[in-house]
């Protein structure tokens, strides 16, 4: 069993978003369509994002309803189980339209946790 805390999974989510966004930075949709390596790299990071979200405890998810947890988690299932039919248009839409906003929300959660820990509010928190 993993000893990682949910805060580390949150950091994984942010790291996967950063990677995916960096891979498409400066690309047009047509460029993305023609670059299977970039598509694969982005899809892999969406899988990591989704798997990490799945490991965030339900009580943390409930505290942050502005984050579409179930949608993020379902990305993995669609990508893993539909790997023969991954739609690059959907991937492009997720990475260019949804990830920047999601990053803001996750950064706010991360900052909130830093503030709580700095005030001694997280001492008895379970990992």
Are the beta carbons of 33 and 73 closer than 8 angstroms? Answer: no
Query: How many whole angstroms separate alpha carbon 16 and alpha carbon 32?
Result: 18
Among 76, 78, 103, 123, the one annotated catalytic: 76
Listed by start position, the domains of the chain span: 6-115
Within 10 A of 127 (CB to CB), how many other CB atoms are there?
10
Task: Record the pTM.
Answer: 0.85
Among candidate residues 55, 64, 78, 81, the one labeled active-site is 81
Do residues 53 and 6 lie in contact, with contact meaning Cβ atoms separated by under 8 Å? no
Is the pLDDT assigned to residue 6 strictly greater than 60? yes
Q: Is 54 a catalytic residue?
A: no
Mean pLDDT of the chain: 90
Q: Give per-residue pLDDT as tens, 64-112.
A: 999 999 999 998 877 776 667 788 999 999 999 999 999 999 999 999 9
Which tokens in the block code for residue 13? Answer: 């989510």
What pLDDT does residue 2 have?
57
């Amino acid at each position: 069993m993993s000893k990682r805390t949910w805060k580390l999974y949150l950091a994984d989510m942010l790291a996967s978003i950063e990677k995916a966004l960096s891979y498409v930075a400066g690309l047009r949709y047509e460029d993305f369509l023609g670059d299977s390596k970039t598509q694969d790299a982005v899809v892999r990071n969406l899988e990591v994002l989704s798997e990490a979200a799945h490991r965030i405890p339900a009580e943390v998810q409930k505290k942050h309803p502005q984050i579409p947890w179930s949608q993020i988690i379902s990305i993995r299932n669609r990508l893993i189980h539909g790997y023969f039919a991954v739609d690059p248009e959907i991937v492009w839409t997720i990475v260019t339209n949804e990830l920047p906003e999601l990053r803001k929300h996750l950064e706010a959660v991360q900052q909130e946790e830093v503030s709580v820990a700095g005030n001694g509010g997280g001492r008895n928190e379970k990992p």
